[in-house]
Structures are given as structure tokens and as C-alpha cells.
Amino acid sequence: MPKSNLFKRILIWRYKYISEKNFLFLLSLVIGLLAGLVSVFIKNITFAIEAILEKGIILSQNSIYFILPIVGLFLVYLFVKYIAKRPSGHAIPSILYSLSKRNGIINRHNIYYPIITAPLTVGFGGSVGLLGPAIASASAISSTLGTLLHTDRKTRSLLIGCASAGAIASIFKSPIAAIIFAIEVFSLDLTFASLLPLLIASVSSVITSYFFLGDSVLFDFNVSEKFAIKDTLFYLVLGVGTGIASIYFSKIYFGITALFNKLKSPRHKLIIGGLAIGVMLFFIPPLYGEGFGFINDLMLGNDLKAIGSTPFDAHLDNIWVVIGLLFGITIFKAIAMTTTFAAGGTGGIIIPTLVMGSALGNVVAKVINHCGLGFSVSEANFTLIGMAGLIAGVLHAPLTAIFLIAEITGGYELFVPLMITASMSFIINKNGMDHTIYTKELLEKGALLTQDKDKSVLTLMNIDSVIEQNFIQLQPEMTLGEMLLKGVAKSNRNLFPVTTKKGNFVGIILLDDIRTVMFDQSLYNSTTVETFMHKPPEYIHYESDSMEIVMKKFQDSGAWNLPVIKANKYYGFISKSKLLTAYRRELINFTS
């Protein structure tokens, strides 16, 4: 039996005997398992590369680890140029774009590209994380599976959310934070219909992680010093610090990315970026790789081990030199991460954000403890809560930050300071940055989904679906007689675009504009189209106007029809009635 016929029979059997709800639960379970497997695989491959390099180079007499990132970036460059033959976009923004503009369809190559390029980037010391690539690969799997099983767009979107939740739950073993991340970042509706599949995917992914990796955790830390009310002011200070740092993080990302975008050659980006990363690693070794070891050392109080061997080793008995080096990690982690991306590397921003937040939290605690005013706070707790503050600010996801840090460290005793710092950081960043690293580019493309249903529905709408092109075009030099013969007599519309012979739009004529003279034969040869045409109250620009802008132009102009201009030429019209009908249909699909 051909495979296609067998697959059809399976689909028919499913439609007959499995309800949509139960089928969704089953799919979320499968996707959770697959997301867990992807996360385990990508971690193990990366750790294997790191182990080989550590034995062969890092611990050798010629400790030249700082040149490894350029080797990894070069391998990624070769893979992209000769095998993939297409650059890989950043994980989360690419997924969000697929949700808003591609009906939740992600290209299949995204299943395995991140699994190859991310370990090469991170394993060779690129200063990025593995979570983003794991989410990208798992989301591509869920999208492909959803497409094969003929699910609708809304179901595919939910399955992608399940994949992202599964990847986070597997890597951090934090199922609650994983669910919240999917809701906050992917703007999924918080309903029972969406919550249960996310929960199933998260739990199944965590179980997969436990099965392959055991009960080992990323951060070996237990809270020993509980929250004291006298430290409230200091946690507010930490919130302010992480809020400012998160703005710095985002601005550095946008600035370095824009700088590298001026370089047209990927080879030039690779060379300049690789050399820059090597120099940073020589002076600040903790920037090497993801940085989980750095975080663990800080939380355990092993400051010197966390900092590693630097040109400043002779001065590490001075606490202010240690503070300066840790603050340098805070500053340069964002630079190293963005440079890795800009040079062609693949990775995520969440784990570098944790590293930067941990360093900043530790710095704030050390400054409080050694400023000579007699204050004393827990450096481990501030290290922990600094991570939450930076995540809340950078991602605009305070709930994800609170539950992520609480779950991965068992720090539920610190819920109050986590809430204080995360909310303060979020408020400061939200006032300083309208959009995150994930959403700024999408906003510029008009492809950003939010919790605002009205804006999300407009984002999901496709402008091509509301453009009408069955209008007869007139030229300005046509006589009234020619217009009646070639236009009015052959058209069932009461609107006529006026264009030049090259297709440039110059105006419109309504049937009402010529109704009083259309039967006056004395004007047939003496007047032209140019006499009656006029400019529309507004124009719609195909390339740049989002559906939200289109709707606003109709609202402000009061027009019933507006012309669409594409590549400076007439392309068609959009009518208010068709726009509102399409909006209502999309709203029903979105909220059903």
C-alpha cells in the first residue's frame, strides 16, 4: 500500500474516532517528548564538543582557548554557505513572524539547522545560549507535524507554544516557567483550552529530560538565607540596576547589529567578529561559552574560580578589583553575545541574560557589603535575583523571570524579593524601551502579535486578501466619450483609477463625478478625463503600511475605497466593506 494512502487512512480513522480536543492533548504529549529529545540532543552534542576541546586545547600547556570561537564561527560559515545555503534567523523572532504572517508554518530545514550550528557556535566558545536553537528546532518539528496532520492555524500556533514550553522545561526543568514563557512571549490566550496542552507538553518534556539526564540540575543551589524585610530597599536598588542594565543590553544588541549590517560580506563579519570575541575572552575568560559554570561558582561564593585566570590575577586580593572584574563581565557579556550573533553564530539570548544578571546581582551585593556602612546582604541571593531582574527587563516577561529563577534554584522562599526586583526592572525597561530584542524587528514589519486582540487580529490579516483589482483603468488624456465607451460601459464598478501609460497612479473618478454630464454629447470630444479626476483622501502603500495603518487611514479619511500603491504604481483598491468583513471573519477565527 502506498504511504500516501496509508496516511490518508490514518487521518480518516482519527477524524472518526478521536475528538479534536483529545487529539490536541495527544499531539501536545508527542511534541513535549520531541522537544525534550531535541533539547537533550543539542545539550549533549555541545557538551561533547566542549569536553573534546577542553582536553585537547583549553587544559593544554598552550592555553589558546580564546581563538576557538573564530574556529566555530568559521565552521558555521562553511555549513551555511555550502550546505544550508541560507542564513539562519534568530530563533524567537523567526517563530513569531511565522505565527503572525505564515499561519504558523515553519520551514522544515529549521528542524536540523539549529541542531548543527548552535553546538558549533557554543561548543567552540561562542558567548550565546542553547535555549533559542532548541526552541527553534522543536517549533519547526511541531509546525511540520501540525501541517502533515492538517491542523488549522490556531492549533499550529498552540503546538508551537507547546514546543517552546517543552524546550524550556527540558533545559531548565521548570515546567511552570515554561508555560508562562509561552503565554507571555508568544501572546497565547490564557484559557483552559490552551493551558492544558501547554502543561502536558511541559511535563512530558521534563520527564524526557529526567530520563536521559537524571536528576542533575543546572544550578546546584539551595536558599539558606531567607528574605528579611530590612533588605527591601536593597532589592529595589537591584531592580533599578537590572532595569538600567536591561536597557543597556538591548541598546548594545541593536547598536552592534546595525554596525555589522554595514558589512556586506559574511567573511568580513566572521573575521572582525571572531577577532573581537577572542580579545574579549583573553581579558575576560568567563565570557567563554554559555556561562552556567560562572553562575554556579558565584552562587557558591567561589568568586575567584568564577572570574578565572586574567591579566589582573596579582590584584585579586583587593575586593574592589574583584568587583570591577565582575562588573566588566556584566558590561561585556552583552557585547560578546551580540558580536557572536553578528559574526554569523547561532544561539539564544536568555542564558547570556542570566549570566549578565548574576554578575550584576553579585556586584550590587558586594558593593553593599563593602561600602563601609555596616550593611550585610546575601551575595548568593542577590546573584540569584539579579538573573530574574535582567530577564524581566530584557524579555518584558516578569512572570517568566520570577518562576524560572524560583524553579531552577528551589528559591520559592525568595518570592517577595523576586517580585520586587523583577517588577521594578520591567517597569524601568518598559518606560525606556517600547519593544524587546524579540519584537522590535517584527513591529517594523507589521508582524507583531500582542495580548491586544484587536491589534493581533489586524496583524494576522493579509493585505492581499482585501485588495480588489477588477477596476478599469483610465488615462488622463482620454476624452469623455472614450471614458464612457471603454470604461463606464464595460465596468460594473462606480470607481475608476486614473493612471499614466506606465501605470503611475494620478487620481480617481467616481461615477457621481460625471453623472450630470455623461449624456451631454457636446462634451464627449471637448473634455478629458483629467477634467473630472481628483485625488483620493488617502493612499495605501503596499510595502510599508500594516493592516493597523490601513484601518486607521480608513477611519481618519472617512473614505469607502482607497487606492493601493505598489512600487510607485497603481495596484488596486481596498474597500471599507471588504476590510471590515475580513476583520470580522479573522476575529471569529482568532477568538473561537
pLDDT 10s digits, 253-265: 999 999 998 888 8
* Mean pLDDT calculated for residue range 443-468: 72
* Owner of C-alpha cell 524550556: 168
Average pLDDT, whole number, for the chain? Answer: 85
Domain with CATH 3.10.580.10 in the chain: 455-591
More confident residue, 459 or 497: 497
Q: 0.85 exceeded by the pTM?
A: no
More confident residue, 448 or 300: 300
What pLDDT is recorded for position 420?
95
* Mean pLDDT calculated for residue range 426-454: 76
Q: Does residue 392 contact residue 239 with C-beta atoms inside 8 Å? A: no
Q: Which of 411, 419, 367 is nearest to 239 (CA)?
A: 419
Of 107-116, 206-215, 242-251, give the lowest mean pLDDT range.
Answer: 206-215
* 479 grid coordinates: 476624452
Which residues make beta-bridge pairs with 468?
573
* 473/470 Cα distance (integer angstroms): 9
Of 4-8, 554-558, 580-584, give the lowest mean pLDDT range.
Answer: 4-8
Q: Which of 386, 124, 140 is nearest to 132 (CA)?
A: 140
Which residues make beta-bridge pairs with 479?
528
More confident residue, 340 or 449: 340
What pLDDT is recorded for position 327?
93
The two beta strands, 561-566 and 540-541, are parallel
pLDDT at position 201 over 90:
yes
* 313 grid coordinates: 590575577
Confidence of residue 62 (pLDDT cuts 50, 70, 90): very low
What pLDDT is recorded for position 429?
93
Q: For the chain, how many helices (H) and strands (E)?
A: 25, 6
pLDDT digits 0-9 by tens, 106-124:
888 888 899 999 999 999 8
Q: Which of 107, 23, 109, 125 is nearest to 68 (CA)?
A: 125
What pLDDT is recorded for position 245?
95
What pLDDT is recorded for position 9?
76
What pLDDT is recorded for position 531?
87
Of 77-91, 224-238, 420-434, 480-494, give the lowest mean pLDDT range.
Answer: 77-91
* Owner of C-alpha cell 514563557: 181
* 446 grid coordinates: 507589521
Q: Does residue 390 contact residue 245 with C-beta atoms inside 8 Å? A: yes
Of 27-41, 49-63, 137-151, 526-540, give the lowest mean pLDDT range.
Answer: 49-63
pLDDT at position 401 over 50:
yes
pLDDT digits 0-9 by tens, 489-524:
888 888 999 998 888 999 999 888 888 888 888 888
Confidence of residue 59 (pLDDT cuts 50, 70, 90): very low
What pLDDT is recorded for position 34?
95
Q: pLDDT > 90: what percent of the chain?
A: 34
Confidence of residue 592 (pLDDT cuts 50, 70, 90): low
pLDDT at position 440 over 80:
no
* 497/483 Cα distance (integer angstroms): 12
pLDDT at position 61 over 50:
no
What pLDDT is recorded for position 365?
94
Helix, strand, or coil here: 474?
strand
Q: Does residue 554 contact residue 446 with C-beta atoms inside 8 Å? A: no
Superfamily of domain 229-451: Clc chloride channel (1.10.3080.10)
Of 94-103, 278-287, 569-578, give the lowest mean pLDDT range.
Answer: 94-103
Of 89-103, 336-350, 392-406, 527-541, give the lowest mean pLDDT range.
Answer: 89-103
pLDDT at position 562 over 90:
yes
What pLDDT is recorded for position 151?
85
Q: Which CATH number fits domain 3-213: 3.40.50.1220, 1.10.3080.10, 3.40.50.970, 3.40.366.10?
A: 1.10.3080.10
pLDDT digits 0-9 by tens, 308-341:
777 777 777 888 988 999 999 999 999 999 999 9
pLDDT digits 0-9 by tens, 212-236:
877 666 666 667 677 888 889 999 9
pLDDT at position 450 over 80:
no
What pLDDT is recorded for position 63?
59
Q: Please name the CATH architecture into which domain 455-591 falls.
A: Roll (3.10)
pLDDT at position 392 over 90:
yes
pLDDT at position 168 over 70:
yes
Q: Does residue 107 contact residue 100 with C-beta atoms inside 8 Å? A: no
Domain with CATH 1.10.3080.10 in the chain: 3-213, 229-451
pLDDT at position 487 over 50:
yes
Q: Which of 330, 39, 335 is nearest to 210 (CA)?
A: 39
* 505/497 Cα distance (integer angstroms): 7
Phi-psi region at 410: left, alpha or beta (left = phi > 0; alpha = psi -120 to 50) = left
* Mean pLDDT calculated for residue range 186-215: 82
Q: How far apart are the first and last CA of the chain?
A: 38
